[in-house]
Amino acid sequence: MNYTHRLEFKVRDYECDMQGLVNNSIYQNYLEHARHEFLISKGINFSEMVANKINLVVVRAELDYRDSLKSGDSFEISSNIKQITKVRFEFLQDIYRKNDSKLMLQAKIMGTSLNERGRPFQLDVLSRLFDE
């Protein structure tokens, strides 16, 4: 798959559970950070949007765990975004371990943009991402 954005990470000890594996909830943090960095790389400032009372929110998350990362593993999150409806978009994100390029996790994260009244609306700044 051709990805629009890639971001490298390294597992830190405190992200692991008693078995020495990355705790399953930590993957959500990794994915969220990669989405924020993706938006920043496209000139979209998440903090400015919040200050302007526009919120991007996750409405559904599907994570397929393929294997487990361990402390010290380097990995990459590869991301794409696509439009689902006028007010919904979906990030497709894959996590690959660096040393062997093994697919560790696949995620579909559906989101929407909410205005100051908490109502979904079409955010024009995102529409340019769907054309890439």
Active site residue ranges? 17
Judged by DSSP in three states, 128 sits in helix
CA distance 61 to 109: 5
Task: Give the distance, in angstroms, between the CA of residue 116 and the centroid of all CA atoms in the same chain.
Answer: 23
Q: Name 119's Cβ contacts closer than 8 Å, sequence gap at least 6.
A: none
End-to-end CA distance of the chain: 14
Backbone angles phi, psi at 130, to 5 degrees: -75, -15
Backbone angles phi, psi at 62, to 5 degrees: -120, 120
Q: CA Rg, the chain, in Å?
A: 16
